[in-house]
Structure 1
Amino acid sequence: MRLNLHTDYALRLLMYLAQHGGQASVDEVAGVFGVSRHHLMKVAQQLTALGYLEARRGRGGGVSLARPAAEINVGAVVRALEPTGTFVECFDRQTNTCTIAGVCGLQGALNLALGDFLARLDGYTLAQLAPNPARFRAAIGLTVPQDQTAAG
């Protein structure tokens, strides 16, 4: 399984904000990850609509987490952003044209695998995606206050 680019950017944006500890501009985050500002803006808008981010417009504006990183479930984020309902053609009864649908075991196997994948992600919060916060912050160019380096 491969996450779509939208979900990938969303998870990166959320992780950045979790480690940033405050508000950041979309331009700033796009620059850190070398991604399209336009695409990241769409991601930020969707995450805001879903209640994961708070956004402030204008000078000094930006985005921040709407709740603590420990309360944001990774599986829930992926479910909200990924079109897993039609993982393969036979998952959608209305548009399915597969001649072996219903008589092969692939649909059941893929359905179980997808469920296992999402269940595994359900075991993680956003806060757990940076097991070594100091190294994560250094990798994304955030300065780490002296008192946090020993803890992270």
Structure 2
Amino acid sequence: ALRMLIRMALQPDTRVTVRELAQEYQISQHHLVKVAHHLAKKGYVASSKGRKGGLQLARDAADINLGALIRDTERSLQLVTCEDEKSGVRCAIQGSCRLPDILQSAVDAMMAELDSYSLADLVCDAGSLRVSLIDGPHSTR
């Protein structure tokens, strides 16, 4: 999701297709369709169909908070689980182990840091990003 949005932020007034994104990033087009749908549903991208259709940012890159984006796109930020979801078997040291609390503190600190950045912060060096991605070896242009 982040890479798709970075690409769109490089040319906010230009529509880009999932096919172009898949080719530029060398990622499965099928997977990117799902990601694009989720981003559109959450209000990060606007999509249009047709010959001149494609995806573009639904709002200014400066208004897309990275922490909020991660929370909206990641299923879980939990780094360790102490109980198997399918079997219900619990870890033998659950309750006396501090690892889950320590890791949660680390995740909280990471998210607090991400909350202080926007998508615009990721594309502040747009020139080199553009050369690497849009004008790069996998470019469709």
User: Do these two structures clear the TM 0.5 threshold for a shared fold by scoring above it?
Assistant: yes
TM-score bin, normalised by smaller chain:
0.7 to 0.9
Q: Which has the higher contact order (CA 8 A, sep 6+)?
A: 2
Q: Does 1:97 align with 2:90?
A: yes
What amino acid is aligned across from residue 19 of structure 1 in structure 2?
L
In the other structure, the counterpart of 1:115 is 108
Aligned length: 134
Higher fraction of helix: 1
Q: Could you tell me which of 2, 5, 22 is aligned with 1:11?
A: 2
Gaps of 5+ in 1: 1-9, 144-152
Q: Could you tell me which of 23, 27, 33 is aligned with 2:19?
A: 27
Aligned residue for 1:84, secondary structure, equals coil
Compute the RMSD of aligned alpha carbons.
2.2
Q: Could you tell me which of 52, 73, 84 is aligned with 1:81?
A: 73
In the other structure, the counterpart of 1:67 is 59
Partner Cα distance (1:112, 1:17) in 2: 32
What amino acid is aligned across from residue 128 of structure 1 in structure 2?
D
Q: Could you tell me which of 66, 83, 106 is aligned with 2:99?
A: 106
- Which whole-Å deviations, capped at 9, do the CAs of 1:106-139 have from their partners, x for residues lacking one? 1110110111111111111000002311111111
- The structure 1 segments of at least 4 consecutive aligned residues displaced by more than 6 Å after TM superposition are 91-94
In the other structure, the counterpart of 2:48 is 56
C-alpha displacement at 1:86, in angstroms? 4.1
Tell me, yes or no, if the aligned pair for 1:85 and 1:91 is still in contact at 8 Å. no
C-alpha displacement at 1:24, in angstroms? 0.9
Aligned residue for 1:55, secondary structure, equals strand
Aligned residue for 1:60, secondary structure, equals coil
Tell me, yes or no, if the aligned pair for 1:101 and 1:107 is still in contact at 8 Å. no
What amino acid is aligned across from residue 44 of structure 2 in structure 1?
Y
Tell me, yes or no, if the aligned pair for 1:20 and 1:142 is still in contact at 8 Å. no
Moved more, 96-105 or 111-120: 96-105
Q: Does 1:141 align with 2:134?
A: yes
User: TM (normalized to structure 2)?
Assistant: 0.85
Partner Cα distance (1:91, 1:114) in 2: 19
C-alpha displacement at 1:29, in angstroms? 1.1
Tell me, yes or no, if the aligned pair for 2:77 and 2:107 is still in contact at 8 Å. no
Partner Cα distance (2:75, 2:89) in 1: 16
What amino acid is aligned across from residue 105 of structure 1 in structure 2?
R
User: TM (normalized to structure 1)?
Assistant: 0.80
